Structure 1
């Protein structure tokens, strides 16, 4: 056996340089994140629903629309995916899962309709 000791150097990976994040980049990301979070809470109106509202002259006050949005959000948190929203003068079919109003009709039309694939109902007076 050879009495000499052989040594080998182990090559180590260089330590990663810590990249400092610019404060303005952090603020920009934070603003973008906040705007996206706020945007996802908006209730969208589909093209079909908007056309029905225009033809039938159905309009909602800002307060009523805010109430509808809040109730749809509450229903979504309870697991509702598709809901029927009944107000004093209109009925809306809303996809809570997609935060989208699918269709709108006035209350007179809604009385003679059968609503299917609805797993929740919201009544707003």
Structure 2
């Protein structure tokens, strides 16, 4: 597994401004929202997988992921599997980085190694 962290292009993963869709402000890049709110990073690999597999994770879900990663880090978990209704994410809690992502159907047939914690999130 490639643990290198790559910059996400500015045009990728954009969300409307925090004030809502009717705001006339320009969109805030999603990676900026994450880094400001939770300090989350998304590796280049994870970003590609999320786009390729059309995984939809809204802002509220990302906030929950960030909070759970903080809790996991406090408990000494370094590498974790986050299982959601529609996706599974491998995260490095120590570095606060999403390493890869897959949809639930794909994750069902996988064996996950080198993790020391699992986080279940029901949306």
TM-score greater than 0.5 by the shorter chain: yes
**Residue of structure 1 in register with 2:90 after alignment:** 93
State TM-score, norm by structure 2.
0.68
Ranges in structure 2 where 5+ consecutive residues have no aligned partner = 1-34
In structure 2, what is the Cα distance between the partners aligned to 1:40 and 1:65?
A: 10
Structure 1 residue 42 displacement after superposition: 1.2
Does residue 105 in structure 1 map to residue 102 in structure 2?
yes
- Larger Rg: 1 or 2? 1
Ranges in structure 1 where 5+ consecutive residues have no aligned partner = 1-37
Alpha-carbon RMSD across the aligned residues, in angstroms, is 1.4
State TM-score, norm by structure 1.
0.67
Does residue 77 in structure 1 map to residue 51 in structure 2?
no
Alignment of 1:24-43 (within 5 A): 41-43=38-40
**Residue of structure 2 in register with 1:11 after alignment:** none
SS of corresponding position for 1:70: helix
In structure 2, what is the Cα distance between the partners aligned to 1:41 and 1:87?
A: 18
Alignment of 1:37-52 (within 5 A): 41-52=38-49
Greater helix fraction, Structure 1 or Structure 2: 1
